[in-house]
Chain A
């Protein structure tokens, strides 16, 4: 009996530690998007969305989204970062990322909170904007995840 208990305990320990090691941030993009859509209500309607799948590299890099907005309308930008195993930076610029005259209208690191994955931004003026993701370098192999961006509008 003691043997059974002992070896069972070892087995449980082995299985638990293996599960801990294999635990990865799951990127079920549809679920991440579902968490965002209720945040549009009641004033905003869904317009469009973009799921960016991230494969971390040994060097930092950027990717971006051009977002056309219409003059005089109100918009809500929503981001869900729960699908990322490692934090990225998110900036929203008023000009192309390569422009030296761009202004950052939103910077995630300025508002990031521990345990929080969903962030919102509502621009004061509506014109074409540029979402830029900066993905940091990592030595880890095959590290990947996703970030979901959703845009709502209000007329």
Chain B
């Protein structure tokens, strides 16, 4: 009798669990079939995030618009040892990334490998060594000397790796700072090459960067809770003022004088960053 009661009890208990699980699954199926309701809700600034393009893409676009290679323009790898604050390390990690991209798109593979080595060293200071481990990047670069497509693919792979690393390690606040360094360096390279050999297409691309600078400023402001980036934001806002004239109309463009003023400000900011 007792045994029978136990059997009935456990059967009822297991049946109730089965019923409970089935109900949960039914709810899930139902919710998947529901039409997502239309919501007219204004999206506030706080709920927006700002995508930042890869330095490689910007470099390639500049290259297609006449960015040529000028030796000794890029940041000296010797300066890497002098970057001892997290802030200068992040900024100049971006600077060297842009330099590596510049070398890759201009078939300066050995220089690109040197910058890769510098980036690896900086990543160790920043506790980001996993970005470069197991990739065999140097070997891949060496094996693809002269193969432009392969070289840029390798650099794109590095970008994926960096983005994954920052996300998986909750370092979303680091990305905009690294990008700021890369963007400033790429603009610097574009400005210097344009000063040496003025080019309408390149000037257009330099001007077009206003859309990126907008996003960069907003991204930095989002991570500036402790006011660590006040100076950088202020400096970038000064540069951004050069683009105010573009808001007058879609056809508006910078005059030669305005381009020169923008170039001088970019060069000054870049030199300030690399000199720590």
Contacts and interface: CB of A to CB of B under 8 A. Distances in A.
Contacts of A97: 42-43
Interface in B25-53: 25, 28, 31-32, 34-39, 41-43, 47-53
A50 B47 CA distance: 14
Nearest to B18: A17
A97 B61 CA distance: 28
Contacts of A109: 35-36
What class of interface size applies to chain A in its complex with B?
35 or more
Interface stretch (B133-141, B155-163, B240-248): B155-163
A13 B18 contact: yes
Interface string A14-34: 101110110000000110010
Contact of A61 (B20, B41, B152, B205): B41
A86 interface: yes
Main secondary structure of the interface of B (DSSP, over half): helix
A105 to B, nearest CB: 16
Interface of A: 6-7, 10, 13-14, 16-18, 20-21, 29-30, 33, 37, 45-52, 60-68, 70-71, 73, 85-89, 97-98, 109, 128, 132, 134, 136-138, 151, 153, 155
Interface of B: 7, 10-11, 13-14, 17-18, 20-21, 24-25, 28, 31-32, 34-39, 41-43, 47-54, 56-57, 60-61, 64, 152-153, 156-157, 159-160, 163-164, 167-168, 205, 208, 211-212, 214-215, 218
11 contacts: A10-B10, A13-B18, A17-B17, A21-B20, A30-B168, A47-B57, A62-B41, A62-B42, A68-B51, A73-B61, A97-B43
